[in-house]
Each structure stands twice: as C-alpha cells, then as structure tokens.
Amino acid sequence: MRIAILIHHAYGIGGTIRTTLNSAQALSGRHDVEVVSVFRHRDRTVFDPGPGVRLRHLVDLRPDSPDHDHPDHQRPSRHYPRADGHYTRYSALTDARIEEYLRTCDADVIVGTRPGLNTLLALRAPRGPVLVGQEHLTLACHSRRLRLTLRDAYPRLDALTTVTETDAADYRSRMRLPGVRVEAVPNGVPEPAVAPADPGAKWVVAAGRLAPAKRYDLLLRAFARVVAERPDWRLRIYGAGPQRDRLRDCIDSLGLYNHAFLMGAAHPIESEWCKGSIAASTSSLEAFGMTIVEAMRCGLPVVATRCPHGPAEIIKDGVDGRLVTMNDVGAIAEGLLELIDDDDLRRRMGAAARDNARRYDPALVAERYTDLFTELASRRGRGARLGTARTTAHRARGALLSTAFTARDGLRRARAATRSKGSAA
C-alpha cells in the first residue's frame, strides 16, 4: 500500500512532527511511505524519519531558495481555511504546490495531520485515494469558527483519527460526520535506547513547551512545598517557549534557585528523563500527553493533573503514576511527596510504567493504522476509482465549498468592520 502523509513541516521538534515520523517509520516496514512537508526551513530534520521513508517538501523557505522570495508567497491563500491558526503562513504558492501534488499523487491513502490540511484534502483532493484526517489537538480547543469549517469539510473524508477516546467521542457526538469512520489511535513512542531511570535519583523531571497551558508555575509552587519537607530533591524542566522569563522570575521569588532549573530544549530527551526518578505533568490542557508516555517508557512514574483527554487514558492511577486534581498546588505537592517519601512505591510504579507504556510502541500503532487503511481501501476498491468526469465534478464541488468558505469569511470581516465603524461613530 502506498501511503502519503501531509504535514505542515517535518523539520522542527514538535509533538506532531515526532509522532508523524515515528508512525511513518513503523509503517514503512510493510508499506511504501512518503512524508510530504509543505514547508522546509532547514537543511536537516531534527528527527530521523528512517531509511524506509521518503521525505519531500513542497515549498523551500531556506534563504538561498527561489521560493524564499517567490512573489506568489506574498499573496494570501485562497484554499487554506482562514480559521486555522496557521493560515497566515500559507499563500498562493502553497495553494499551487499542494494542488499539483494532490493532482499527481498516486498514493492509495493520503493522511492530513492538522485541521487546515485535512480541510484541503477533503475539498481539493481528487477522488480515488482514501482520505484520512488526523487530529493532534482536540475538538474542544478549536474555535467555533474552525469547528464550523470542519463541520462542512470533514464529511468528505473517509476517516478521522484522534489521539484519545475522549476526543473521538466528542467528534462522534458533536459533529455531523455521516459515513466517516472516527477512530482513536494514540501517538506512538519508541522504546528508548538508554538504560531505565534510576529510582534512587532525587530528581523530578518535566518536559514540554514553556507555555501557559503547561502550568509550570503550579509545578514550581508545588515544588516549593516539596522542598520545605525534602530539601535534598531537585527539579529540572526541559523545553523552550514564551514563559521562560516568567518562570525564571517565579523560581527566584520562591527561593528555588538552588532546587529548580530551566534546562532549555533537549534532543534526544530520553537521556534526560533517565536522570530523574519521577516525572511531573501539570497541564490544564493536553491533547494526548506524549511526554507522559516518553517518561513512562524510560521507567518513571508520572504525577499528572487529571486534565481533559490524555493523562487519564495513559496513567493507571496508583499503579504506574498518580492523577491529581487540576490547578491544585496542594494536590500536586502531595502526589510528588507520596512518591518521594516511599522508595519501594517509586520503584514499583516505575517498573509498571515501563511495562504499561509498551502499548504505545510505534509498531503496535502502525498495526492499527494498517488495519484501518486496509479496511477503508478494500471498501472503496482500487478498481472502483472514479472516472475523469466524476473526478472533475468532485474537485469542482470542493472548489465551490472552498469559495463559499472564503466568501463567508469575507462577509464576517465586512460585518465586523461595519460594527466597528458604528461603535466609533
């Protein structure tokens, strides 16, 4: 089976990039897999896609590339949905390159990896390939404007996959998707190529983007309570992001400058997890919780807030980690101290975490995707591909929907401008 995976860009270090390349590498053992990066902005990928995966890009933004100053890249996109947060990065140039790729692609299955790309597949891809949209965020975190766009576009997909059962249930109950398979398929995390964590190490480790939703401010306040009882323990937080300065000020104000450390981004992260014996995740919002699985695969029990979606589907409370009340400093501190004060419990939970996290091995995730793709392809049938006339009609209908979205957005902007002028008057 020929599988093409369309991604915003494959050259960074985000969670969607990691899991996409993990899955592509696992699928390449049995299938012909191509990862199509809309953008390329550096010479090499951070994560190795593996020898069995072809990687291509559509628009090259490196300074010495003709695409960098291409005039069409200065013109706004007409196809990419405005409601997607990445809209301003797309252009007439990306429209043309994506359109050309979809027209000439001979894949049996084309997979999109974010709402805007899923919408493009639904509206612009020719009939024939199985079209699968992946959601790496959650329906709840999308704006109402984006949800309306997806409600119009997603019924034209063959399947939609989410990373949690909770989010799959949301899509089934809140969106009208007749005939679309909605399945939860978790992110894959490979077995680390390092020795398991030492349960005797007196370090708590956290990792992720330094962004408001991660609530590292709560973790630091909770850790101040930990230090008051166990001053021999330390905290490392790995990641980069807009809250770095604020978190540095928080460390100073709490007097944690000898106990809590902002370590910056780290790749590979596995060797850093293994320097600790407890992992912490204090998010108020998680689409999945990839860092939780990474830590567990390294043998760390995780103290995580019971935020919507991911953590409660990953952690077996009291077995391989602790789920604590969200936004509760006292609960976070209590969860950490429970493991800090009980060496045997920490050791047992760490071993259980390592065993239980094997269910997220990319090979197992790839099997689930293979089963889904095979069923969808056999249902449609390679020989049942539509003729040229029907394919043209399908693309025309998609173009009409895309034009309708653009007109609707323009009308909303015009109404907003009118209301603004009225208020000013």
In order along its 425 residues, the chain shows pLDDT tens digits of 999 999 999 998 888 999 999 999 999 999 999 999 999 999 999 888 889 999 999 999 999 999 999 999 999 999 999 999 999 999 999 999 999 999 999 999 999 999 999 999 999 998 889 999 999 999 999 999 999 999 999 999 999 999 999 999 999 999 989 899 999 999 999 999 888 899 999 999 999 999 999 999 999 999 999 999 999 999 999 999 999 999 999 999 999 999 999 999 888 889 999 999 999 999 988 888 889 999 999 999 999 999 888 899 999 999 999 999 999 999 999 999 999 999 999 999 999 999 999 999 999 999 999 999 999 998 876 433 333 333 444 444 444 455 555 555 555 555 555 555 555 44
Give the pLDDT score at 309: 83
Per DSSP, what are the bridge partners of residue 124? none
- The structural domains of the chain, with segments of one domain joined by +, span 2-188+363-415, 203-360
Give the pLDDT score at 415: 57
Give Dmax (Cα) for the chain.
74
**Six-digit token pair at 232?**
């021999």
Neighbours of 102 (CB within 10 A): 20
Give the pLDDT score at 393: 42
Are 87 and 116 in contact by the 8 Å Cβ rule? The answer is yes
Give the pLDDT score at 390: 33
How far is it, in rounded angstroms, from Cα 343 to Cα 95? 57
Give the pLDDT score at 412: 54
Give the pLDDT score at 37: 97
Give the pLDDT score at 310: 85
Q: Pick from 332, 232, 351: which is nearest to 282 by CA?
A: 332
Give the pLDDT score at 308: 83
Report the first-to-last Cα separation within the chain, whole angstroms. Answer: 62
List all residues 6 or more positions away from 322 whose beta carbon is below 8 Å from its beta carbon: 301, 302, 303, 304, 315, 335, 338, 339
Give the pLDDT score at 382: 45
List all residues 6 or more positions away from 415 whose beta carbon is below 8 Å from its beta carbon: none
Are 298 and 192 in contact by the 8 Å Cβ rule? The answer is yes
How far is it, in rounded angstroms, from Cα 362 to Cα 395? 34
Same fold, 2-188+363-415 and 203-360: yes
How far is it, in rounded angstroms, from Cα 240 to Cα 245? 10
Q: Tens of pLDDT along 170-213?
A: 999 999 898 999 999 999 999 998 888 999 999 999 999 999 99
Q: In what helix (H) or strand (E) does residue 168 lie, and over which residues does it extend?
A: helix 165-174
Are 111 and 4 in contact by the 8 Å Cβ rule? The answer is yes
Q: Tens of pLDDT along 81-92?
A: 999 999 999 999
Q: Is 271 exposed, middle or buried (0-12, 13-18, 19+ CB in 10 A)?
A: middle
List all residues 6 or more positions away from 268 whose beta carbon is below 8 Å from its beta carbon: none
Q: Pick from 324, 319, 336: which is nearest to 230 by CA?
A: 336
Distances (CA, A) of 349 to 286, 297, 365: 22, 12, 24
Give the pLDDT score at 202: 95
Residue whose tokens read 């860092």: 291
Q: In what helix (H) or strand (E) does residue 243 lie, and over which residues does it extend?
A: none
**Six-digit token pair at 2?**
């020929």
CATH code for the structural domain at 203-360: 3.40.50.2000
Give the pLDDT score at 260: 97
Q: CATH 3.30.70.1450: does it fit domain 2-188+363-415? A: no
